A and B are shown apart, each in its own frame.
Chain A
Amino acid sequence: MTTEILWWIFAVAIVAVSAGVVFARTVIHSAIFLILSLAGVGAMYLFLTIEFIALVQFLIYGGAVTVLILLALMLTRMGVAGRPEPTTGVQAPFGALVAAGLMATLIGVAVATAWPGDPGGNAVAVSIKTIGEQMFQHYGAPFMITAALLLVAFIGAIVIARQEDDD
């Protein structure tokens, strides 16, 4: 019962802050709402008893990715406080179209798929040991390929960002 009430509180809060991401008047406020929204989704994972994914969500999305977004905004837009800037342009209708399409696809997939390991609609607790074994043994190759991809992206970012005097 308590869990259900908490679930609804979090659900409403996530929808509210997500609306905040879209309707905030400055990009900085949007980014801050985005952090709250992603942290709320992390709390949702707790209700589904997948603590590991919830903590990864806090660590990666709450603590790192959105902070990098904020950092980039801070470095590129000085003195934004109090001065609203346009967050929509000619691309707004196309953005709305893409968002609506993505939402329709995701809802369709979520409803239409018969999810394994979900008998009777009850969430099954997955231990970190299972996740680790699956990731490094069963899905070892995709894991390594993702790692290589990230490494390439990392080196590329360094090469682009590095300012040499002589070139």
Chain B
Amino acid sequence: MTDLPFGEVFFGLSWLDAIIRIVIVVLVMTLVVVYLTYGERKVVARFQMRLGPTRTGPAGLLQGFADAIKLLIKEDVRPRNADRWVFEFAPYLTFIPVFLVLVALPFAQDWGVRNLALGMFFVFAVLGLNIVGVLMAGLGSGNKYALLGGVRAAAQMISYEIPLVVALLAVAMVAGTLDLNAIVSMQDSRPFILIQPLAFVIFVTAMLSELHRAPFDIPVAESEIVGGYFVEYSGIRWSMFQLAEYAALWAFSIFGSAIFLGGWQFPFGDDWGWGWQLVLTLIKSLIMIMLIFWVRATLPRLRMDQLMSFCWKALIEVSFALLLVNGLFLFYEWPQEILAIVNWVGAILFLGGIYLRAARKPSTKNLVGSYKHAEVPNP
């Protein structure tokens, strides 16, 4: 790849430098994942008026490590009718794409693993590959619930990848580049969320779906299909799925905060050192993560047909309309302020539409399968 190394190269060797940087990022990621699981339990617990983990260490802070040790020494069970190699390789194929995404993320102006000229495209091209691991887990387990979870995950992730990519492309059109570091350094006075709020709404929705987070957690719905594609996994392999999930959550948050919230740039600019820029990136990604936890604690899970029809009948159309409007504005060089206003109106109309649709009594017409006989009480 066309890599512009950040700052000086460690030991003067490009490949050694890359390895050192990726090791640092992966170590940080592991720590972040341990504390994200703790943070999620704590945040969701507070939303539900519980305390969450309190026993292990002060305020339960060591809970994540206790869980990790428990998972590492747990027996690794493989069902007898599982497809051996498919079953055993699936966790790696889920994890490797997330690992690769970390290569392209800009953590600070001079700090990241590599700055790729096609960084944004790289991120969603590589993230798309972890569907393969999910499908392999569903297929290889020899379990019908796992298979159902895999099929649901594949259908959902392929569908939601389209609005995700199109919304990000709309932002890339305004930015005029796919280079993540260049996109961040462009946002010195106003982050792109102010110019492209509709793209942000679409991005967050599609992101929730790609990460299997509530309200789109149908592939891992424990009350419907006992846990989805990783039902049969235990111990270290299960924890790899968990690691991949939370690492993807973190990577997506940094990616989203770089593109929409101004990453390391907004509001202090390049004058502040890389330490502050790192802190700024982490705070912004934490805001995104909090948003995701908040949504999880607040919204109920969608039904499979609702999920698919929301993507294909609402999200994709809106994102293509956004692409078209951005294209018109950029081609005729109409002022950016009007583009921002149009976008805000679009975002408010879209969210309002979702709210009104959710608030009204659901229709029981045109449902398929066993949902045909669904009775909906008056609200």
A residues engaging B (CB < 8 A)? Answer: 2, 28-29, 32, 35, 39, 46, 49, 51-52, 55-56, 58-59, 62-64, 66-68, 70-71, 74-75, 78-82, 125, 127-128, 163
Contacts and interface: CB of A to CB of B under 8 A. Distances in A.
Contact of B2 (A35, A51, A67, A78): A51
B125 A82 contact: no
Given A58-B126, A75-B151, A78-B147, A63 B161 contact: yes
B81 interface: yes
A52 B132 contact: no
B98 to A, nearest CB: 13
A81 B368 CA distance: 29
Contact of A28 (B1, B139, B151): B139
Given A29-B86, A70-B139, A128 B178 contact: yes
Interface in B161-209: 161, 178
Contacts of B136: 32
B139 A2 contact: no
Nearest to A29: B86
Contacts of B81: 81-82
A71 B1 contact: no
Interface of B: 1-2, 15, 81-83, 86, 116-118, 121-122, 124-126, 128-129, 131-132, 135-136, 138-142, 144, 147, 150-151, 154-155, 158, 161, 178, 368
A67 B154 contact: yes
A46 B117 CA distance: 13
Contacts of A63: 125, 128-129, 131-132, 158, 161
B129 A64 contact: no
A2 B132 CA distance: 29
A59 B128 contact: yes
A56 B125 contact: yes
Nearest to B150: A74
Contact of B128 (A62, A80, A163): A62
